[in-house]
């Protein structure tokens, strides 16, 4: 275990070159051991799109080391879990999955088990893995992704377990290989970490300080994605609105304009936006850029000012509503989605009702709703929390059923309208895909259309599930 307090810096390109050498060395060890046959890796990602994007880079390394990927864990020579710490549920699922690897490892003692990501960044977690899960070979935190080849090589050479977790403000590593999950949809990280310290959230502790990738790097990656046929680019960051904050570099609104100017038929999305940093300038840029989806995911978390204050969100209900009003003024058809936490410590039913009234007032397309989950080390985890889980469950159901009504009314309004939909999946003659506003529509069509934009007329709306047909 190396516990250092390193300052944030960009990883020198020579270090990445060195990692490529480690990848070649790890490959030779594996080839000598296992022959030149196929080496299979099973990679599973828990949590958000940020993790999915990180996994694409980890898979890039694994591919360079000679692994192909399998969905069948029983056949895997290497299992990698990229973990999430955001709520108790994600945390428990990871431990359940790691526990289930024990009999697999007993059957195949050469199997290499790797755990990484947000959960591993927490000391109480990696200590527990160290003590109680002796069959795990390699554990690394969120700051070591660019060093996977070196760490794996260490495991292979020494036969010992390797733990590599340390605290730092965080790095930016460019030049890692990427093995993308899809061809027509691409995740594009523009920044890492978070500085907001919302009082309930573990992210700033496990992901380090906010840092932005250079715009040249982001633009080059965007051009590469588009040249390779990508139709849907999602720019990722915990708080994309503060891209390059505190510097003279390109703002997020400018970045959107630059990507929008790249030639090609594609759409641009982004997440997540923080209401405290969302500006009218950004909403104007969204409105002006024809390739930017008219969809804004703007987590409000609560509709009550006292609760927002305790959450350390940095805005009021009024400020939130003023952003929504401006967004609707400049983009009348904009689709709005949000995240909401129910049962924050000390929240009363009256205060929760302010959240209900907010969602009625805004009329979101959809919501991601969560019951508050205490995270060790956060400020909210030590606040008095008198409301029972059962009671919070009731509030939660009240919220989700209110949202179902709102969504089904919105869906009814979409009947008869035609939307541009990117066909994403095909099953038994039915394609499904999302509109620019991120609404799913099912429609009959040929499998060859997967990855293309189709004009789809909405012909039926059952609650919030839409179906349609290709309109010519």
Please list the helix, strand and coil fractions of the chain in percent, rounded to the nearest 5, in that order: 40, 25, 35
| DSSP per residue, 338-351 | EEEEES-TT--HHH
The helix/strand/coil state of 439 is coil
Partners of residue 456 on adjacent β-strands:
419, 470
List CB contacts of 432: < 8 A, sequence separation 6 or more.
423, 424, 425, 426, 440, 441, 442, 443
375 binds ligand 5AD (CB under 6 A): yes
Task: Write down the least CB distance from residue 46 to ligand 5AD, Å.
Answer: 13
- Judge contact between 458 and 417, C-beta under 8 A: yes
Comparison of 143 and 375: residue with beta carbon closer to ligand 5AD: 375
- Judge contact between 217 and 191, C-beta under 8 A: no
- Judge contact between 243 and 282, C-beta under 8 A: no
Task: Write down the least CB distance from residue 197 to ligand SF4, Å.
Answer: 6
The pairing of beta strand 171-172 with beta strand 162-164: unpaired
Q: x/- binding map, residues 241-280, to ligand 5AD, per CB under 6 A?
A: ----------------------------------------
Kindly list the residues in this chain that would bind ligand SF4 in the complex (CB under 6 A). 194, 196-198, 201, 203-204, 238-239, 274
Of 253, 249, 290, 254, nearest to 273 by C-alpha is 253
Q: How many residues does the chain have?
A: 472
Q: For tokens 């000598």, name the residue.
A: 32
Q: Please count the helices (runs of H) and the strands (runs of E) in the chain.
A: 14, 21
Q: What, of ligand 5AD, ligand SF4, none, does residue 373 touch, CB below 5 to 8 Å by kind?
A: ligand 5AD
Q: Where are the beta strands (DSSP E) in 248-333?
A: 267-271, 295-297
Task: Write down the least CB distance from residue 204 to ligand 5AD, Å.
Answer: 11
Q: Residues touching ligand 5AD: how many (CB under 6 A)?
A: 12
Comparison of 194 and 268: residue with beta carbon closer to ligand SF4: 194
Site residues for ligand 5AD, 174-203, by CB under 6 A, read 200-201
Comparison of 144 and 196: residue with beta carbon closer to ligand SF4: 196
Task: Write down the least CB distance from residue 194 to ligand SF4, Å.
Answer: 3
Task: Write down the least CB distance from residue 100 to ligand 5AD, Å.
Answer: 25
Question: C-alpha 180: how far from its chain's center?
Answer: 14
The pairing of beta strand 366-371 with beta strand 335-342: parallel
Task: Write down the least CB distance from residue 381 to ligand 5AD, Å.
Answer: 8
Task: Write down the least CB distance from residue 364 to ligand SF4, Å.
Answer: 18
Q: What, of ligand 5AD, ligand SF4, none, does residue 239 touch, CB below 5 to 8 Å by kind?
A: ligand SF4
Q: What, of ligand SF4, ligand 5AD, none, does residue 238 touch, CB below 5 to 8 Å by kind?
A: ligand SF4
Q: What, of ligand SF4, ligand 5AD, none, does residue 87 touch, CB below 5 to 8 Å by kind?
A: ligand 5AD
Q: x/- binding map, residues 290-309, to ligand 5AD, per CB under 6 A?
A: ---------x-x--------
Task: Write down the least CB distance from residue 342 to ligand SF4, Å.
Answer: 15
Name the residue with the smallest CB distance to ligand 5AD: 339
- 104-107 CB contacts, 8 Å cutoff, 24+ apart: 104/73, 104/74, 104/79, 105/135
Site residues for ligand 5AD, 85-114, by CB under 6 A, read 86-87
Q: x/- binding map, residues 323-342, to ligand 5AD, per CB under 6 A?
A: ----------------x-x-
Radius of gyration of the chain (CA): 23
- Judge contact between 178 and 57, C-beta under 8 A: yes
Burial class, 80, CB count within 10 angstroms (exposed 0-12 / middle 13-18 / buried 19+): buried
Tokens for 332, please give them. 């009348």
Region from 216-224, 367-375, 408-416, 435-443 binding ligand 5AD, contact rule CB under 6 A: 367-375
Task: Write down the least CB distance from residue 80 to ligand 5AD, Å.
Answer: 23
List CB contacts of 472: < 8 A, sequence separation 6 or more.
455
Residues that bind ligand 5AD (CB under 6 A): 86-87, 200-201, 299, 301, 339, 341, 370, 372-373, 375
């Amino acid at each position: 275990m190396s516990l250092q307090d390193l300052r944030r810096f960009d990883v020198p390109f020579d270090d990445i070159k060195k990692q490529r050498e480690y990848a070649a060395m790890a490959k030779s060890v594996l080839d000598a051991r296992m022959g030149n046959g196929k080496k299979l890796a099973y990679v599973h990602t828990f949590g958000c799109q940020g993790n999915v994007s990180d996994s694409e880079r980890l898979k890039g390394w694994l591919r360079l080391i000679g692994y192909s990927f399998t969905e069948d864990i029983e056949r895997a020579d290497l299992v990698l879990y990229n973990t999430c710490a955001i709520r108790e549920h994600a945390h428990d699922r990871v431990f359940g999955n790691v526990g289930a690897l024990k009999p697999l490892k007993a059957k195949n003692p050469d199997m290499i088990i790797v755990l990484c990501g947000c959960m591993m960044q927490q000391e109480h977690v990696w200590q527990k893995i160290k003590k109680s899960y002796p069959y795990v070979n390699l554990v690394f935190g969120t700051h070591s992704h660019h060093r996977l080849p070196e760490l794996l090589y260490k495991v292979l050479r020494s036969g010992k377990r390797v733990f590599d977790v340390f605290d730092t403000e965080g790095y930016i590593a460019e030049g890692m290989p990427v093995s993308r999950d899809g061809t027509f949809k691409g995740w594009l990280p523009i920044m890492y970490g978070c500085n907001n310290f919302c009082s309930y959230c573990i992210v700033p502790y496990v992901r380090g300080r906010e840092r932005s990738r250079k715009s040249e790097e982001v633009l080059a990656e965007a051009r590469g994605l588009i040249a390779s046929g990508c139709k849907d680019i999602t720019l990722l960051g915990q708080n994309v609105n503060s891209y390059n904050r505190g510097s003279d570099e390109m703002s997020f609104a400018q970045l959107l304009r630059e990507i929008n100017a790249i030639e090609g038929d594609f759409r641009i999305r982004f997440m997540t936006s923080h209401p405290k940093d969302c500006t009218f300038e950004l909403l104007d840029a969204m409105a002006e850029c024809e390739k930017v989806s008219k969809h804004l995911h703007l987590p409000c978390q609560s509709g009550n000012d006292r609760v927002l204050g305790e959450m350390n969100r940095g805005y009021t209900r009024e400020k939130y509503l003023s952003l929504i009003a401006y967004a609707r003024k400049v983009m009348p058809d904009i689709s709005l989605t949000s995240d909401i936490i129910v049962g924050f410590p000390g929240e009363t039913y009256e205060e929760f009702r302010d959240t209900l009234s907010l969602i009625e007032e805004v009329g979101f397309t959809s919501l991601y709703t969560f019951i508050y989950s205490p995270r060790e080390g956060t400020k909210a985890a030590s606040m008095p929390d008198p409301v029972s889980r059962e009671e919070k469950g009731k509030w939660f159901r009240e919220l989700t059923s209110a949202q179902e009504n709102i969504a089904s009314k919105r869906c009814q309004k979409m009947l008869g309208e035609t939307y541009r939909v990117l066909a994403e999946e095909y099953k038994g003659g039915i394609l499904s895909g999302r509109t620019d506003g991120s609404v799913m529509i099912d429609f009959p069509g040929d499998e060859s259309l997967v990855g293309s934009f189709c004009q789809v007329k909405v012909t039926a709306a059952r609650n919030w599930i839409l179906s349609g047909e290709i309109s010519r």
